[in-house]
Structure 1
Amino acid sequence: MEKRRKVANPLALAVLAWLVAEPMHPYELGKRLKETRKDRSVKFNRSSLYMVVEQLRKAGFIAEQETVRDTQRPERTVYRLTPAGRDELYDWMRELVAEPRREYPHFGVALSLLSVLPPQEAVELLTRRLAALDAEAAEIRAEMAGATEGGVQWIFLIEEEYRLAVLAAEQRFVTTLTESLRQPGYARAWHDMFGREP
């Protein structure tokens, strides 16, 4: 069963994970999230990152370690992980890895209502979606190849492997669905149901 977290934003989990390695300030956290492309899995902007850092501080999961003064930059507060933060990180990670969670992607909603679209239009739209999925998969493969050639270990690319697997499953699903929608029997049934030409 899913636990109720003091700070439930996935960005908070990413912050805790990066602070395991070493203390750092929010600007550095954001920079590393972008450099390692974690921003593809965890959406954030500067203000949301600072907000999550403050929530984690209030919850006692991180603490101020020092304030760095640099003449060329404004003051920056460096944060470190607390023992409670370390416990929260590992408990949360164990839950997310071990327990499947019901998610509600927008495509699932569209599929549940797909029958309102005329079959031919649904086929055209799904064909466009399949082309977009193919392009996304090609982009991920190219980025992974570049990262691997650059010496990045496979474990740091595992979320991209997962994205590829999910994309491949969706590509297969959309291909099969498109073929089913092209069947004359479906077009007749749709016409009978909605009373207009497919």
Structure 2
Amino acid sequence: MSMKLIVLGILMEGQKHPYDMQQIMVKRNMSRYIKLQKGSLYYAVEQLTKNGLTEVVDVVKDGSHPYKTIYRITEAGVEEFHKLLLEQFLNHDKVYNPLHAGLAFVYHGNQSRIAEMLENRIEKLESNLVLMQKEYANMVPFVPRSALYIIVSAIEHGKTELKLLCNLLDDARNNRLGESGQLFTLGIHE
């Protein structure tokens, strides 16, 4: 997801300083579900303003802190937001899992050592799933249903990955990663 869409989406909710935008992103745990580049927020705001999609509303002095520049979305920015939003739903880019490169050759590796790594990964994933489920419960009263789909998607992907990793761990423990044969029956509507 582009930082442009995120900034414009946050500004659709009202005028903000980039630090306030960043705090919203933190509060909503966006970095857990969306790949965000550090430093790209201020650059995105600068580029959006340069292109007339956002504009400066005010520059305020906040106590002993430096001046804060407050931005809002322009009419052109609203149009761009809607365009980017629709493009995001049409995006069919493949998502590449770094684990797949290792799976292609895992049978050449030390399967007991691989099993140890898988156990650690499974433990972290289980902890992460517990945290995400707590986050979901905490967010339900405060965020729109559409935003809840982000965390539900992450939870469901996590559950699927956990199932796969547990099966992979079983094969590694039993030294079966180099064997041929069906793993399980695949079906879209299982």
Q: Same fold (TM over 0.5)?
A: yes
Match of 1:179 among 149, 161, 170: 170
Contact kept, 8 Å, 1:66 with 1:77, in 2: the verdict is: yes
Are 2:106 and 1:114 equivalent residues in the alignment? yes
**1:126-170 deviations in Å (ceiling 9; x for gaps):** 12211111111011112222333x544443322111110110110
Letter in structure 1 aligned against 2:51: A
Structure 1 segments (4+ residues) deviating >6 Å: none
* 1:192 match: none
**Where does the alignment leave 5 or more consecutive residues of structure 1 unmatched?**
1-8, 190-198
Bigger mean CA offset, 32-41 vs 14-23: 32-41
* 1:193 match: none
**1:34-74 deviations in Å (ceiling 9; x for gaps):** 122223234354x4321221122223321222222344432
Contact kept, 8 Å, 2:33 with 2:154, in 1: the verdict is: no
TM value normalised by structure 2: 0.79
Give the alignment of 1:11-30 within 5 angstroms.
11-30=3-22
In structure 2, what is the Cα distance between the partners aligned to 1:70 and 1:186?
61
Q: Relative to 1, partners in 2 of residues 1:102 and 1:152: Cα closer, same or farther, differing over 3 Å?
A: closer
Match of 2:116 among 124, 129, 132: 124
SS at match of 1:64: strand
In structure 2, what is the Cα distance between the partners aligned to 1:178 and 1:105?
17
State the identity %.
Answer: 23
Greater helix share, 1 or 2?
A: 1
**Where does the alignment leave 5 or more consecutive residues of structure 2 unmatched?**
181-190
User: Between Structure 1 and Structure 2, how many residues are aligned?
Assistant: 179
SS at match of 1:73: coil
Are 2:147 and 1:156 equivalent residues in the alignment? yes
CA-based RMSD of the aligned residues comes to 2.5
Q: CA deviation at 1:187?
A: 5.8
TM value normalised by structure 1: 0.77
Q: CA deviation at 1:22?
A: 1.2
Bigger mean CA offset, 153-162 vs 12-21: 153-162
Are 2:25 and 1:49 equivalent residues in the alignment? no
Contact kept, 8 Å, 1:24 with 1:80, in 2: the verdict is: yes
Are 2:67 and 1:75 equivalent residues in the alignment? yes
Are 2:161 and 1:170 equivalent residues in the alignment? yes
Are 2:86 and 1:94 equivalent residues in the alignment? yes
